[in-house]
Amino acid sequence: MTSKVTTTGSSRPSGNGSGAGRTPSIEDAAHTLKEGIVQSLSGLSTIESDIVALVRKTVADTLRAGGSTAGELVNVVHHVVMGTIGAVEQVGAGLTMSIKSVAKGIVMGVHDVGGDVVSASAETMRSVVKHAAAVGSDVGVVAKRAVDGVIEATVDVGGNVAQVSKSAIEGAIEEAGKVGNMAVKTVKDVLGNIRGSLGESAEASSHGAGKKSQTGAAGKAVSH
């Protein structure tokens, strides 16, 4: 009789075996986490693309209807940024998540109707800094995200990145001055690196063009 009794220990699944009873390893947990994050980020990317498309169409349609004059442009940008902040407050999401897509959509929408993208970028940043400060958001972080959106849009439409970015940064710093000295310092600190990088890129491009011109001139001299 006793020889037929089996011990419970012999039926316990091994930690290295397979099957439903296997204890998940740290590798399993890490893999599951990775897959979940990938899905979440993919969804976020889709949401951002949708915001860009919506803002772009709204800005373009509004400017076509009302005319892309300087006054109308300021009015449209102001209301688009205000609408964004209202939506963010309604759903309880952070402004930093959506403002990049909004800034990108504004610049692309203005470009679609042949408007002044340089002025639009500056006005966008003025409005962003003003309203971000009003709702107590981190002005520096929000400004950085918005400038990133402006730069991405300019690249996508084939605009002058250095010129547009310079205008955007100046607009942000100018508006920060109306908020207070601390806001100015914060915005300058955050956007200073971007301005420096753009300056270095422009200088490198200028030197490259100069060398190319000299090489071409030398080639012509030899040919003669």
pLDDT in tens, 80-121: 888 888 887 777 667 777 899 999 999 999 999 999 999 999
Q: Quote the pTM value.
A: 0.72
- Residue 180 CA: distances (Å) to CA of 87, 130, 139, 185: 26, 11, 11, 9
pLDDT of residue 13: 46
Helical pair 117-134 and 70-91, crossing angle rounded to 10 deg: 40
Residue 216 included in any domain? no
Residue 7 included in any domain? no
Host domain of residue 55: 32-192
pLDDT of residue 20: 55
Let me know: does 150 contact 104? Beta carbons within 8 Å: yes
Residue 145 included in any domain? yes
pLDDT of residue 112: 95
Helices and strands (H and E) in the chain: how many:
7, 0
Tell me which residues of the chain have a pLDDT lower than 50: 1, 3-19, 202-224
Residue 210 included in any domain? no
Residue 56 included in any domain? yes
State the total domains in the chain: 1
Residue 128 included in any domain? yes
Residue 121 included in any domain? yes
pLDDT of residue 208: 47
Residue 214 included in any domain? no
Let me know: does 112 contact 61? Beta carbons within 8 Å: no
pLDDT of residue 21: 59
